[in-house]
A and B are shown apart, each in its own frame.
Chain A
């Protein structure tokens, strides 16, 4: 796999995330209304609501009472540098952009075979039940380059929405970027390193032990 000169990614600070799901709802709002939408819902007001989301916040409890720590854990596509979902796609609908490393799905080419979702160890892809195509986080590709937006707003919707600043966005290949510094200084780590997918998104661990 060739290494790209630029790789956009999110860095998520688990020490700061409070599990409010603002990133989940802002992601849904932006992406259901934008170029990547709509992200359909099924039975939205029923007992078993379901729908397409690019981002989820989960909660884990580490340790044994009374020495426990609650960890809120946002999860979206990690934009792997060696994405296993891309080569398995039979139509070329799944691809990784050379210019910035974002992994995207061309919804007009996707046949909805779900093979890429099987090939993602992180469960980062969700089929849209209404459109029957595979969907995933785009890092708000229709937002971050939009020159009609003020420069401060050219960030993924989840990053803009986070009230505690737990989500950082930038180029992990630029050693002077905010994300690279955070990864260096805080020991930013990759999920499931055992599969050598080299995820671009990194997580900053909780400070002060406990977990």
Chain B
């Protein structure tokens, strides 16, 4: 697939906001002594990030003025369900932030909606059975774990910046745990995709039974939607570097920085971890889309 920046920005920014809200919600439900500055700051930051995500998602639409129509098909469409859950989640987070972040009921609602939003977002991809890289429960696991990890790392950085040492110390082990879990989940998905045998072949796509079938012409000279939307057009070397880049920036380096922060109590380590992780998350999501091989590409192997 050709990764769309609107979707990359939306899913990473909203995912981190969800993870951040989960930290505050769990903190509230478990009775963690959060400073008002941290709880309020985290919720307002998450709310702002959700608005940014919502804005980015609009940029993906050809006809954004009709976006309201997308709430109608929730019975069958995961995209429609996401379109309902995202504003509902943002509204609850906004309300919770505006009311001072004390309500346990809103904490519970925000927690459930955050989990629901990950489920919807991931299912948009996981339900497409013929995009085999995505059609697996690991897609849901990884959207959730990467969101949890990025939100937790962001929470430690925010606590460090706001001088809430207690939250910084309390959340850091959680951040390290979910980052390690996210790394493991993503590694499993990479392993699975590396050994994936694609079910569609040029033979099944055309019905020509000869074992050797080569495309001589794809029916147009200058490309079409089919050649722009479904091909990333990058070399294997670029793909490999992006993969290495996100393994380091999204998982390995933040984990090392979190360990350093835990050991030394240095706030700078947590801030640095969040800064390093941000581009890593974008690279991870870019790779998620780029690695998916759409069966329609079997019909577009030769330009002529």
Contact = CB atoms under 8 A, between A and B. Distances in A.
Interface of A: 14, 21, 24, 43, 46-53, 56-64, 69-71, 73, 75, 84, 86-93, 109-115, 117-123, 125-127, 129, 131-133, 189-195, 203, 205, 210-211
Interface in B47-83: 60-64, 66-67, 69-73, 76-80, 83
Contact of B200 (A115, A120, A195): A195
Contacts of A50: 220, 222-224
B235 interface: no
A66 B200 CA distance: 27
Contacts of A87: 73, 76-77
B130 interface: yes
B63 A123 contact: no
Nearest to A72: B217
| 9 closest Cβ pairs, A-B complex | A112-B62, A132-B62, A123-B296, A56-B219, A87-B76, A90-B80, A62-B210, A90-B70, A48-B222
A127 B230 CA distance: 13
A78 B73 CA distance: 23
Contacts of B76: 86-88
Nearest to A74: B219
A188 B209 CA distance: 14
Contacts of A125: 225
B289 to A, nearest CB: 10
B207 A205 contact: yes
Contacts of A190: 207
A129 B207 CA distance: 31
B61 A112 contact: yes
Interface residues of B, number: 58
B191 interface: no
Given A118-B131, A126-B224, A192-B204, A90 B73 contact: yes
Contacts of A110: 62-63, 66
Interface string B112-136: 0000000000001001111100000
Nearest to B78: A88
A117 B1 CA distance: 11
B218 A113 contact: no
A90 B83 contact: yes
A53 B224 contact: yes
8 contacts: A88-B128, A91-B80, A92-B72, A109-B66, A117-B225, A126-B224, A132-B63, A190-B207
Most-contacted residue by chain A among B199, B221, B225 (CB, 10 A): B225
Contacts of A59: 215-217, 219
Contact of A58 (B77, B124, B217): B217
Contact of B207 (A90, A122, A133, A203): A203
